[in-house]
Amino acid sequence: MAVPPAPTRRRALTVTLATAAAVIAAPAGVAAASPVAASPATVGRPSRLRPLRHAHAHNDYLHPRPLHDALAHGFTSVEADIFLVDGELLVAHDPAGLDPSRTLAGLYLEPLRALVRAGHGSVHPHHRRPLQLLIDIKADGVAAYRELDRQLTRYGSLFTRYHHGRVRRGAVTAVISGDRAARAPMEIQRTRLAFCDGRLDDLGTASPASFTPLISANWTQTFGWLGAGPFPRAERDRLRTLVLAAHREGRRIRFWATPDLPGPERKAVWSELLAAGVDHLNTDDLAGLERFLRARTGVAPTP
């Protein structure tokens, strides 16, 4: 199967379901979630401990129970990568992982609707802040967003809504990342159920927080420090300047590609991110980040 074009080439990903079925493969070292595990009838409940407002599950769909494992660890933000394949949105990191049974609706939208109904209007019971659903469009941004917009509309009561300049908060806030071509159709909508994941160059521009409420950046392309030794003063100052700029404009900020192997370097970076006021810590290690965050509050993590 051909690798999808880079987002800047704006070409459609032409992958058939028949081909996708022939190349189904779980990512190395991670168990693939079955459709049964994602069924609303078999879902687990979120953690009964206080939700972790800084916890973001990167590549959430690679865990054995997409969405549910993150919620069980108290996470309040999850990330799903999607491809548009024959009119359906499939969740996978790359074409080799495409499986026609692993749809965005099946893994995320239907379970979220069941959880919000059971939680009387919120994903985490008694926690009124929205869950962030970060949706990374891997290719064909315009067509994929248009299909995503249609699907979100079917679950409209769940989502934070933008309508003629005003934002009405829902149980889930969808933020669109990935292929930047998706930004154009979003910008002309008077009403939408999703928001755009901004970049550092959105800071200080006319793009309002009602369009780009989140700023995301690659840590290794922004900073040289990876947790070994002291954090250079100039880099610490730059980090705090970026956080303050985002917060002054009413935006949240996160960094991806931070160190994620267990050890003192990861802990040092996470500690500096929290000290600077970064809103989301990015990880593939659900239990590791939960332990780190709960240790700071003196609460035992989820058993």
89-140 per-position pLDDT tens digit: 999 999 999 999 999 999 999 999 999 999 999 999 989 899 999 999 999 9
Tell whether the model's pLDDT for residue 32 goes beyond 70. no
Residue appearing with tokens 């699907």: 151
pLDDT at 26 over 90: no
Tell me what pLDDT residue 298 has: 75
Asked if residue 59 is part of any domain, the answer here is yes
Q: Is 108 left (phi over 0), alpha (psi -120 to 50) or beta?
A: alpha
pLDDT of residue 43: 53
pLDDT digits (tens, 9 = 90+) for 221-253: 999 999 999 999 999 999 999 999 999 999 999
Count of domains for the chain: 1
Question: What is the structure's pLDDT at 112?
Answer: 98
Structural domain contains residue 8: no
* 11 within 8 A of 143, measured Cβ to Cβ: no
pLDDT at residue 264 is higher than 70:
yes
Answer whether residue 39 is part of any domain: no
Nearest one of 234, 200, 201 to 219, comparing CA atoms: 200
Model confidence over 207-218: pLDDT tens digits? 999 999 999 999
Q: Confidence band (pLDDT; 50, 70, 90) for 10? A: very low
32 located within any domain: no
What residues contact residue 108 under an 8 Å CB cut-off, 6+ apart?
66, 67, 78, 80, 91, 133
With b for 16 or more beta-carbon neighbours within 10 A and e for fewer, the 182-208 pattern comes to: bbeebeeeeebbbbbbbebebbeeebe
* Residue 283 confidence (pLDDT): 99
CATH number at residue 184: 3.20.20.190
Domain that holds residue 103: 44-295
Going by pLDDT thresholds of 50, 70 and 90, the confidence category of residue 36 is very low
Global pTM value:
0.85
- Whether pLDDT at 19 is above 90: no
**pLDDT at 291 exceeding the cut of 80:** yes
Say yes or no to pLDDT of 33 above 50.
Answer: no
Residues 6+ apart with CB under 8 A from 91: 61, 66, 80, 81, 82, 102, 103, 104, 107, 108
Arithmetic mean of pLDDT, 251-274: 99
> What rounded mean pLDDT belongs to the chain?
88
175 within some domain? yes
pLDDT over 70 at 81, yes or no: yes
